[in-house]
Amino acid sequence: MRVLLTGAAGFIGSHIRRALTDAGDEVVAVDLMLAAAHGIDAAAPEQVHRVDVRDPDALTALLRGVDAVCHQAAVVGAGVSAADAPAYASHNDLGTAVLLAAMAETGVRRLVLASSMVVYGEGRYHTADGTPAVPAPRRRDDLDRGLFDHLDPETGEPLRWSVIDEDNPLCPRSLYAASKVAQENYANAWTAVTGGTVTALRYHNVYGDGMPRDTPYSGVAAIFRSALEAGESPRVFEDGTQMRDFVHVRDIAAANLAALHRPLPGFVPLNIASGTPISIREVADLLARAHHGKPPTVTGQYRPGDVRHIVASPERASALLDFSATIAPADGLTEFATAPLRPASGTGAPQWR
């Protein structure tokens, strides 16, 4: 199979490229090599076309003879300020719209789209007796007093988290999340217009070798790693009991390979997760022990827009793609504590023009 892979030089894209090549697929690799992801003046790796997905002519030329597209190119991270909004809208949303139009023009009808757990916003909750509950936004005065959990308005007791599935409503709470929802919406509409197929893989917290070093846009695992390498304690926000699902980048690559080789009809979103919940404090503890570094510091600091708990159900991906993650977070994070990171840090949100 001949696959156009966007974002092919990135953290996740490079792993997907390797998995596709190892599986015998032919990869047409493209990447804009944004400084935000690769550092200033980074050169494109060998056999990677330096192409902007917002360039319809370049995409149309590269799509000739392609069987499927694996779209990983994106500006990532939550966004540091409102000024980052045009970069997300331009690179992520316009870029996806241009790519979909070029696919329609060239007759390519299969897309695997990199989406994210951030499309859900807050996770799923229930009361102590198991009744589903939709939490109200956390109040700043509660957060200031160290009360981080969402509370049952009837009893005042903390709400308990439940696993979230793909039918949960989408409620983006960051610039990046808003752009990911827009990408999914464009892709869903494209399937209706063209009869094509889109599998949107909603990645949960991705980590692994080759992850970018500490920037305002890095994942928390890389931020903890960077602190340990600097001889500092990883700084854990809130009380550290926030629950997440951490999935290794090699499992992410395997999920993309499965989705490309098993196209599903229409638009299908799937959680890609390990299926093993873990707290942020446990992540920091695992990394610190494996790195032989300073133990984590639980700061009690908070960011008002942060999600308290979000844990995924991976059952639908297992049923439809025959995909299950193979790397448990405890094993993968222990390996990640000493795995190589990208040599250059990113520079922040890119220019949007």
First-to-last C-alpha distance (Å) of the chain: 34
Task: Report the range of poorest mean pLDDT among 33-37, 277-281, 287-291.
Answer: 33-37
Give me the pLDDT at residue 49, please: 95
Residues 6 or more apart whose CB falls under 8 angstroms from that of 82 comprise: 175
pLDDT score at 281: 98
Nearest to 55 by CA among 98, 118, 88: 98
Pairing mode of beta strands 124-126, 160-164: antiparallel
Structure tokens at 216: 């305002």
| Whether the Cβ atoms of residue 280 and residue 242 lie closer than 8 Å to each other | yes
Q: What is the pLDDT of residue 132?
A: 95
Q: For 210-229, b where at least 16 C-beta lie within 10 A, e where not — what string?
A: ebbbbbebbbbbbbbbbbbe
pLDDT(165) > 90 = yes
Is-contact 28 66, C-beta < 8 A? yes
pLDDT band at 213 (very low <50, low <70, confident <90, very high): confident
> Hey, which CATH number is domain 2-123+164-337, 3.40.50.720, 3.90.1530.10, 3.40.190.10, 3.40.50.300?
3.40.50.720
Task: Please state which of the ranges 11-20, 165-174, 190-199, 341-350 shows the lowest mean pLDDT.
Answer: 341-350
Burial class of residue 192 (count of CB atoms within 10 Å of its CB; 0-12, 13-18, 19+): exposed
Alpha-carbon span 236 to 234, nearest angstrom: 6
User: What does the pLDDT average to over 5-14?
Assistant: 95
Q: Which residue has the higher pLDDT, 76 or 175?
A: 175
The whole-number pLDDT of residue 43 equals: 82
pLDDT at 99 over 60: yes
Tell me, rounded to whole angstroms, the distance of Cα 20 from its chain centroid. 19
% of the chain at pLDDT higher than 90: 82
Banded model confidence at residue 216, pLDDT cuts 50, 70, 90 = low
What is the average per-residue pLDDT within 334-338?
97
215 — pLDDT class (breaks 50, 70, 90): low
Is 135 in contact with 125 (CB distance < 8 Å)? yes
Look over the chain and give the mean of its residue pLDDT values, rounded to a whole number: 93
* pLDDT tier at 41, thresholds 50, 70, 90: confident
Q: Is the pLDDT of residue 217 over 60?
A: no
**Is there a contact between 241 and 147 (Cβ–Cβ < 8 Å)?**
no
pLDDT over 90 (residue 33):
no
pLDDT higher than 70, residue 4: yes
Domain chopping of the chain, boundaries: 2-123+164-337
Residue 314 pLDDT grade (very low, low, confident, very high; cuts 50, 70, 90): very high
pLDDT band at 83 (very low <50, low <70, confident <90, very high): confident
Query: Rg (Cα) of the chain, in Å, rounded?
Result: 20
Binned at pLDDT 50, 70 and 90, residue 346 comes out as low
Q: What percentage of the chain carries pLDDT values higher than 70?
A: 94
Q: Which ranges in 31-166 belong to alpha helices (H)?
A: 35-38, 56-63, 85-87, 95-106, 140-144
The answer to whether 352 and 87 have CB atoms below 8 angstroms apart is: yes
In Å, how far are 105, 167, 190, 243 from 185, measured between CA atoms? 19, 15, 8, 28
Comparing 27-36, 149-158, 322-331, the range with the smallest average pLDDT is 27-36
CA atoms within 13 A of residue 17's CA, in its CB half-sphere = 22
- pLDDT bracket for residue 173 (50, 70, 90): confident
- Reported as a pLDDT band with limits 50, 70 and 90, residue 42 is confident
Predicted local distance difference test score (pLDDT) of residue 294: 97
Answer yes or no: is pLDDT of 238 > 90. Answer: yes
Q: Write down the pTM of the prediction.
A: 0.95
SS3 126: strand
